[in-house]
A and B are shown apart, each in its own frame.
Chain A
């Protein structure tokens, strides 16, 4: 089935540095969602993007959906220790709502 590839798998940053994770698909996606899972926690919905070229911001987080709707990125400015966790992209197919998740990017922030 359709897959999304997330890179990098792991990222270690110094507190205050920026962080970006990428989500790539070989086919056009109808939407992309981003989730954050803290260590020992459960996935928490962050945002959904549906339009080509869409950019959304949440405080220090910026989400983008590519023009071709085949890739997406999540950028965190000036990371904090509270940003630690695994960030997943996910999508649902047209006419359905079940999510297919990427493998996630695990972010560590060194204080």
Chain B
């Protein structure tokens, strides 16, 4: 158990719909990262938040957005869903020790778009 929680575990929805994925980081971790894992693209970084502020953006579609709240939990919003958005979505939180930052991944949310 990494200490990172994600809800829901599974999500089945239809094309065109909007969903929200939730992540609670480990206690004390200020950074939250979102990753998408699909069979063809592998694990891809989407976006990072640090203490409520957007820190970095990766391959995140304009239809996707995220935010981090004052209690440090984060939400990833996916809208106008397409079949190709079906994937595993992981969040990770991090603790930094010197030069090393270790990211702890949550169990993921498996999204299926029909």
Q: List chain A positions with a Cβ less than 8 A from chain B.
A: 31, 41-45, 48, 50, 88, 90, 92, 96-104
Binds A, one of B11-19, B64-72, B77-85, B96-104: B96-104
A98 in contact with B33 (CB, 8 Å): yes
A44 in contact with B2 (CB, 8 Å): yes
Q: Is the interface of B mostly helix, strand, loop or mixed?
A: strand
- Given A42-B90, A43-B90, A98-B56 in contact, is the A92-B101 Cβ separation under 8 Å? yes
Does B24 touch A at the CB level, under 8 Å?
Answer: no
For A96, the closest partner residue in chain B by CB is B56
- Given A98-B48, A101-B43, A104-B42 in contact, is the A45-B104 Cβ separation under 8 Å? yes
A97 in contact with B94 (CB, 8 Å): yes
B residues near A50, Cβ cutoff 8 Å: 99-100
CA distance A48 to B92 in the complex (A): 16
Does B108 touch A at the CB level, under 8 Å?
Answer: yes
Q: Most B CB atoms within 10 A — which of A45, A88, A98?
A: A98
